[in-house]
Structure 1
Amino acid sequence: MLTSAVACLALWAGAASAHGSVVDPASRNYGCWQRWGSDFQNPAMAQQDPMCWQAWQADPMAMWSWNGLYRMYLGGNFQGSIPNGQLCSGGHAENGRYNAMDAVGAWKATGIRNSFSVKLNDQAHHGADYLLVYVTKQGFDPTKQALTWNDLQLLTKTGRYAPADYYTVNLSTSGRTGRAVVYTIWQASHMDQAFFFCSDVNFTG
């Protein structure tokens, strides 16, 4: 277990290398940090939020550094660079720090309707060449299946965003119900740096 001093150091390290994340619907590691960052040693998490529990046990820095899940110099070749089953970790980004994000199970899901928005917090004001937003196809069950590229359908590829605190993408689907993953790729503008976010959602109509 991390001591309070080490936890504070980890939090500082994450802030010092701030980049950003999808905050609504929350990416997996951002959601775990949001719910448990101030109480991450609470054993009740194992029953109340077991996917976050396994992630904190695997590597607490994945949550403290919720804004650092990126890969460098992929040149837009995301499918060729990130193997199936590793999409939520960005292909084992940061030497495997985020591997627990790929774990299959009942991650906490945000309820959304068929018209919804994705909100990205750009802490470092990198700007964006574009955002790619996908959603898993109807019938995919993230509680039982590892995420692959073939499971995704592209909802939009945006244009450029000038550096700002937040970018919001308005999206719509048709007739969706049940569990799904919204998968967002943020291609930053300041250099060839791409960020990868799995957001667990539950379509309520």
Structure 2
Amino acid sequence: MAAVLVALGAGSASAHGAVSDPPSRHYGCYNRWPNGPSQQMATEDPMCYQAWQAEPAAMYNWNGLFREGVAGNHQAAIPDGQLCSGGLTFNGRYAAMDKPGAWVAPNRPSRFTLNLNDTSSHGADYIRVYATKQGFDPKTQPLKWSDLELVGQTGRIPTGTRTPVEINAPGRTGHHILYTVWQASHLDQSYYACSDVNFTDGGDPTITTTTTTTTTTTTGNPRRAARPPSE
């Protein structure tokens, strides 16, 4: 327990937020099982059980899955197969999040509102949300950039305890991964999150996916001008 508390204290000072609804894998494991591994967890939520067994600090530091200095080059910084762990950031603390398996996946329609919880109100240069393509199997396949399609995004916005991003992911049914890239505004800090969902209505694959861009002028941090991000 002492080691866990040390890890928690070390990470909390530099931790800021995560996708809360539908919950990112590490946030969901902490939120559902705040007391750590149990036989009930092993039976009902085996992917969280393996994550807790691998590294409890990943859940206690649920708001700290980020990298610094990426400069918008997310695909260069995060290799295929390591998207959910932010490219094994913090010496692989979140590596268990990359494992394919039967992660808990709440039901969602093809159009819904994703929420991000920014516990420090750092704001966003942008938030982008991708969904896996139909045919991808999260239970057996590690996530690659080529598996993803953009299904929601914002421009520069202030964020808070519930920051909505409108998602439109037509033509999908069953278990999918939503991959969120949140570029914080206070520093060059990029947050990454894998959220599992079960699409229930299938959508209409003939509808073209649209996204909404919101631009809000904010004060502060004058040294970081908004710039078009690259991937």
State the TM-score, normalized to the length of structure 2: 0.82
- State whether structure 2 residue 192 is matched by structure 1 residue 192: no
* Equivalent residue for 2:19, pick from 12, 22, 28: 22
**Deviation for aligned residue 1:16:** 3.9
Give the Cα–Cα distance (whole angstroms) in 2 for the partners of residues 70 and 125 of structure 1: 15
With a CA cutoff of 8 Å and minimum separation of 6, indicate the structure with the bigger relative contact order: 1
Whether contact under 8 Å (1:161, 1:167) holds in the other structure is: no
Query: In the alignment, does 2:45 pair up with 1:46?
Result: no
Structure 2 residue ranges without an equivalent (≥5): 202-231
Is the 2:26–2:62 Cα contact (8 Å) retained in structure 1? yes
Query: 1:18, CA displacement in angstroms?
Result: 3.3
2:162 to 160, 166, 190: 166
Instruction: Write the letter of the residue equivalent to 1:84.
Output: D
Could you tell me which residue of structure 2 aligns to residue 33 of structure 1? 30
Task: Please state how far the C-alpha of 1:81 moved relative to its aligned partner.
Answer: 1.1
Distance 1:43 1:108 in 2: 17
Cα deviation for residue 85 of structure 1 reads: 0.3
Give a deviation string over 1:88-125, Cα, whole Å, max 9, x none: 00100111100000011000101100111110000011
Contact map agreement 2:152 2:166 (CA 8 A) in 1: no
Give the structure with the larger strand fraction.
1
Counting only pairs closer than 5 Å after superposition, residues 124-163 of structure 1 correspond to structure 2 as 124-163=120-159
Distance 1:175 1:192, change over 3 A: same
Match of 2:101 among 82, 88, 105: 105
8 A Cα contact 2:134 2:171, kept in partner: no
RMSD: 1.5
Could you tell me which runs of 5 or more consecutive residues in structure 1 were left unpaired when the two chains were aligned: none
* Structure-2 change in CA distance of 1:46 and 1:186 (3 Å): same
Find the aligned partners of 1:154 and 1:163 in 2 and give their Cα distance.
Answer: 20
In structure 1, what residue type is equivalent to 2:98? D
If the length of structure 1 is used for normalisation, what is the TM-score? 0.92
**How far apart are 1:157 and its partner, in Å?**
3.0
**Higher-helix-fraction structure:** 1
